[in-house]
Structure formats: structure tokens, C-alpha cells
Amino acid sequence: MASVPDHVVLRLPFSGTWLARNSPARRVPSHGTHLFATTYAMDFVAVRGRRTATTRDWRTLLATEPADRFAAFGRPVLAPAAGRVVAVHDGEDDHEARRSPLTLLSYAATQAARARGGAAALAGNHVVLELDGGSGFVVLAHLRRGSIRVRAGEPVAAGGQVGACGNSGNSTQPHVHVQVMDAADPLAARGLPMAFHSYRVWPRRGGPPVVVDRGVPGESEVVEPV
């Protein structure tokens, strides 16, 4: 966890326990690129215990898997702060999920083609929120097709449901992608550093959770809103 006095501070956009991936506490740019304002983006994968899915079979090792096997799929995605909806994109299919090295390798080979499709192709179904007070714009990406509950121009309250977690866009298994930008258009925006308030971190070796007043979840930390 990092000290973050100057970051845009949000609440975690979900309930329950989630695993942090591509954390900017580990490296910047967190996703390996500054493109599409992803410099400080973070991914969260819902877990039960520390498992993202409870089912493992031959498909886990050799093939793709149904997205609904995963704990994150269909879970509510919440507004991380109060603001106004400035953009909504829906209609992208939820892909089969991939855990096996074989399927991940073939997926990586098509990464460049997805990038050429632009920010919408990478984000899949997503919502962009303009935060109250002018502190930035938040993207919530990879939402489930048909789950988005808000429309452009609507105000949203912190904690209000905007959609459900899916596996659309550039995603190998259901998860929530969160990033903050200094403009609404990711093609022109820069990524802004973000932090989260009032959450617990569950230690890897067991024991009681640690409450964090404000911080950036570290790589592979399991976190839960207080």
C-alpha cells in the first residue's frame, strides 16, 4: 500500500472481496502503456477465498471457459464517487474466459488488432463519469452486455449501481477495470493517479484484515470496502 496525498480519491466500485491486478503501486504505467490514459489504471477480480472461480476441469487447462464460472461475472459495479455520466457504450459480447497458457497465448497474438480498434474495442461495454468538483473522469470498463443502468447526462451518487461486471472488450476473465483521466476522451486524455478510501486488506497468510483509510492496493492484495 502506498501513501497517496495528491491522488484522486475514490471508493472501491464494488462490494465483497476482490483481487487487485495491474496495480500502479507495483509499476507505472500499470498496464505497460500510457495509451488511452491507462497510466494508473487498475483491474479488480472478484474472489472467493483467493480463487477467481470455484470450478476447474479440462477446459481450465486446455480451452476457453464460460464467463459465468467466475465469481466476478454479473456482480454489481458501483459508482466510485458522485458525478455525472458523460458517455456509455454497450452492445459488446461477453467473451469466453481464458486461464490456460494455450488460450492466453493465442489471445495475446490478437492484441494488436484489438488496439487498432481503439479505446471502445479495448474497454468493451463501459461507462465514463465526470466527477463532481472537476477532479477528473472515471472509466469503468469490461461491463456485462445489457447491464448498464445509466444514461449519458444523468447524475450518479457514490455507490449507485451503474452496471454489472462482464468480460467484454480486452479481457481474459471477468473483472472491473478502473481508471481516472483528465478529459472525457481517452484518445486525448492523460491518466491521473487514483487512490481508494475506507477498505480492508486481507493478509495472504491469514489473520484479521487491515483497515486502510486511504491507499493504493498493492499487486495481488485482496481488498474489500469497509
Q: What pLDDT sits at residue 109?
A: 64
pLDDT band at 2 (very low <50, low <70, confident <90, very high): very low
The answer to the question of residue 205 being in a domain is yes
Q: What pLDDT sits at residue 155?
A: 98
The answer to the question of residue 69 being in a domain is yes
Residues with Cβ < 8 Å from 50, sequence gap 6 or more? 19, 204, 222
Range(s) of the domain holding residue 100: 8-225
With beta carbons less than 8 A apart as the criterion, state whether 122 and 169 touch. Answer: yes
pLDDT band at 99 (very low <50, low <70, confident <90, very high): confident
The answer to the question of residue 65 being in a domain is yes
The answer to the question of residue 3 being in a domain is no
More confident residue, 107 or 7: 7
Tell me the average pLDDT across 170-191: 96
- Decide if pLDDT at 221 tops 80: yes
The answer to the question of residue 51 being in a domain is yes
DSSP for 118-169 reads: -HHHHH-EEEEEEEGGG--EEEEEEEPTT-----TT-EE-TT-EEEEB---S
Q: What pLDDT sits at residue 211?
A: 98
Closest of 88, 225, 90, 78 to residue 156, by C-alpha: 78
pLDDT band at 108 (very low <50, low <70, confident <90, very high): confident
Distance CA 64, CA 103 (A): 7
Question: What percentage of residues in the chain have a pLDDT greater than 70?
Answer: 94
Mean pLDDT of the chain: 92
Distance CA 97, CA 221 (A): 22
Q: How many domains does the chain have?
A: 1
Residue 85, SS3 per DSSP = strand
Q: What pLDDT sits at residue 57?
A: 83
The answer to the question of residue 2 being in a domain is no
Q: What pLDDT sits at residue 118?
A: 74
**DSSP E strands, the chain:** 8-10, 18-21, 42-46, 76-78, 83-89, 125-131, 137-143, 155-156, 161-164, 176-181, 191-192, 194-202, 210-215, 222-225
Tell me the average pLDDT across 219-224: 97
The answer to the question of residue 70 being in a domain is yes
More confident residue, 94 or 50: 94
Tell me the average pLDDT across 85-114: 83
